[in-house]
């Protein structure tokens, strides 16, 4: 017996269709609605522009630390230009006096900023990182003094190549002491960048002196190389300590400790060596000193912020870009013409830096475990502790509702 809910089959003609769908519109309506689905050129252009802007913004935010260190190298190059111009005016200024002037201005600006913005503990730093702040200041002065002192006995190219041992040493130090990954790609990029530096600087011990044998005594040269290498060790310690401190201290704390320790150490050494203090006699002389102090302060801020946001292995790769800015500024201010080897070295360094920046996204997943330490991701620890407390509270409530004694109450 057929069910009452069933209906007899009705055969439809081609003019009568029932597919439980809305009937198609007439031809005129269909053509009109079809035109509405054509893409608007202005909308397409706006969407592409927004996509480009989004990609650029994502790249900048993803490589913020690397870009900040690169910007710091550009400003440091301007400082070096001011130092070189200052040496050609009146009586030359000793490197220790330059350190005192530059770091004195840095210390005053750092303390003034922290007092105005009411940053806690502006003079002694926050608890838990004061030893690291002191270590950063001491090693920073060793690195700075080592570079400046070696310039008295070595050529600029030799000092440049020796100073660019810092990125590789910093990356290795970060992998050993901070347990940060140092990938094979970063190592290859670092070696390529160092090769590019050698092509630009062309040190005398590899390419020979264009003016014949060096007039510097062999013992003085060996001593200067030793001091320069001690500066490499000091700079490595400074960069590693900045990363170890991370966001547990304000960037101005790091600058204040570094600057005041440099001023004190340089003053003591000047007193021991009885070096005279050179006073400015021209307005340009005084202006260059101010430029050195202000730009040096800005460069230190950029460098500190960069190493706080990026692991030392990648951030140290950006240090190689300083010689590119130095070559450009040397061409602008001192009318020097770069050679083919210099252009080739610049191309190698830029390619290596871009390669390191682009490949970060590929390595992002492998870098997640190393970001789970107490230095880099303190918010994750707070989240974990909150989840544990929440689970304990749920266990207590469940035990109280069931009438059983709580296991957590005995802890």
Q: pLDDT digit string (tens) for 63-118?
A: 888 899 999 989 988 888 887 787 677 677 777 888 898 899 899 999 999 999 99
User: What is the enclosing helix (H) or strand (E) of 36?
Assistant: helix 27-36
pLDDT of residue 241: 93
Assess contact for 170 and 316: CB atoms under 8 A: yes
Residue 380: which pLDDT band, with cuts at 50, 70 and 90? very low
Output the six-digit token pair for 38: 């054509």
- Count of other CB atoms within 10 angstroms of residue 8: 5
Report the distance separating Cα 336 and Cα 339, nearest Å. Answer: 9
86 or 362: which carries more pLDDT confidence?
A: 86
pLDDT of residue 383: 40
The top-scoring range by mean pLDDT among 10-14, 147-151, 319-323, 355-359 is 319-323
Residue 410: which pLDDT band, with cuts at 50, 70 and 90? very low
Of 51-60, 226-235, 351-360, least confident by mean pLDDT is 351-360
11 has pLDDT over 60 = no
pLDDT of residue 147: 80
Residues 195-211 have a mean pLDDT of 74
Residue 320: which pLDDT band, with cuts at 50, 70 and 90? confident
Handedness of CA 349, 350, 354, 357 (dihedral sign): positive
237 has pLDDT over 80 = yes
State pTM to two decimals: 0.67
Residues with Cβ within 8 Å of 258's Cβ and at least 6 positions away in sequence, in order, are: 103, 106, 136, 137, 140, 141, 238, 300
Average pLDDT, the chain: 76
Q: What is the pLDDT of residues 37-46, one digit of tens each?
A: 556 666 667 7
- How much of the chain, in percent, has pLDDT values that exceed 90? 23
pLDDT of residue 31: 47
Residues 365-390 have a mean pLDDT of 43
pLDDT of residue 211: 55
pLDDT of residue 40: 63
pLDDT of residue 5: 52
Which has the closest alpha carbon to 79: 103, 56, 63, 58? Answer: 103
Residues 232-249 have a mean pLDDT of 92
Q: What is the pLDDT of residues 137-177, one digit of tens each?
A: 999 999 988 887 887 777 666 777 788 788 888 888 988 99
Bin 11: left if φ > 0, else alpha if -120 < ψ < 50, else beta: beta
Of 173-177, 233-237, 392-396, least confident by mean pLDDT is 392-396
In degrees to the nearest 10, what's the CA dihedral of 148, 72, 322, 366?
120
Handedness of CA 76, 80, 82, 86 (dihedral sign): positive
pLDDT of residue 321: 85
The top-scoring range by mean pLDDT among 208-222, 237-251, 330-344, 396-410 is 237-251
Q: What is the pLDDT of residues 170-185, one digit of tens each?
A: 888 988 998 888 788 8
Residue with tokens 């210390």: 107
pLDDT of residue 407: 37
125 has pLDDT over 50 = yes
Q: What is the pLDDT of residues 263-312, one digit of tens each?
A: 999 999 999 988 888 887 778 888 888 888 889 899 989 999 998 888 87
């Amino acid at each position: 017996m057929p069910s009452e809910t069933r209906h007899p089959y009705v055969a439809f003609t081609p003019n009568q269709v029932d597919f439980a769908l809305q009937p198609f519109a007439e031809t005129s309506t269909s053509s009109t609605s079809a035109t509405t689905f054509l893409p608007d050129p202005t909308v397409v252009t706006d969407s592409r522009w927004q996509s480009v802007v989004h990609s650029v913004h994502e790249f900048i935010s993803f490589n913020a630390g690397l870009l900040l260190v690169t910007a710091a190298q550009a400003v440091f190059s301007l400082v070096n230009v001011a130092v070189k111009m200052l040496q050609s005016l009146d009586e030359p200024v000793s490197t220790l006096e330059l350190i005192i002037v530059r770091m004195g201005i840095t210390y005053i600006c750092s303390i003034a900023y922290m007092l105005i913005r009411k940053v806690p503990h502006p003079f002694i730093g926050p608890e838990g990182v004061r030893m690291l702040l002191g270590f950063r200041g001491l090693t920073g002065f060793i690195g700075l003094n080592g570079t400046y002192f070696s310039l008295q006995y070595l050529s600029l190219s030799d000092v440049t190549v020796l100073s660019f041992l810092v990125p590789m040493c910093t990356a290795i130090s970060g992998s050993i002491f901070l347990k940060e990954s140092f990938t094979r790609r970063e190592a290859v990029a670092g070696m390529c960048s160092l090769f590019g530096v050698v092509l630009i600087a062309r040190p005398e011990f590899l390419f020979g002196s264009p003016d014949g044998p060096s007039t510097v005594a062999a013992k003085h040269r060996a001593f200067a190389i030793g001091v320069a290498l001690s500066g490499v060790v000091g700079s490595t310690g400074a960069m590693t300590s900045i990363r170890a401190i991370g966001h547990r201290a304000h960037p101005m704390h790091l600058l204040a400790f570094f600057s005041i320790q440099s001023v004190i150490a340089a003053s003591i050494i000047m007193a021991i060596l009885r070096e005279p203090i050179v006073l400015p006699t021209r307005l340009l002389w005084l202006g260059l000193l101010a430029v050195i102090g202000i730009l040096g302060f800005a460069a230190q801020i950029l460098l500190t912020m960069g190493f706080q946001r990026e692991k030392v292995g990648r951030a140290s790769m950006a240090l190689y870009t300083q010689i590119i800015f130095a070559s450009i500024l040397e061409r602008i201010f001192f009318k020097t013409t770069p050679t083919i080897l210099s252009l080739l070295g610049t191309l190698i360094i830029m390619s290596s830096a871009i390669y390191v920046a682009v490949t970060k996204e590929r390595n992002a997943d492998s870098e997640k475990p190393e970001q789970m330490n107490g230095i880099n991701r303190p918010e994750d620890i707070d989240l974990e502790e909150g989840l544990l407390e929440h689970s304990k509270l749920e266990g207590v409530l469940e035990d109280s509702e069931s009438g059983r004694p709580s296991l957590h109450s005995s802890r």
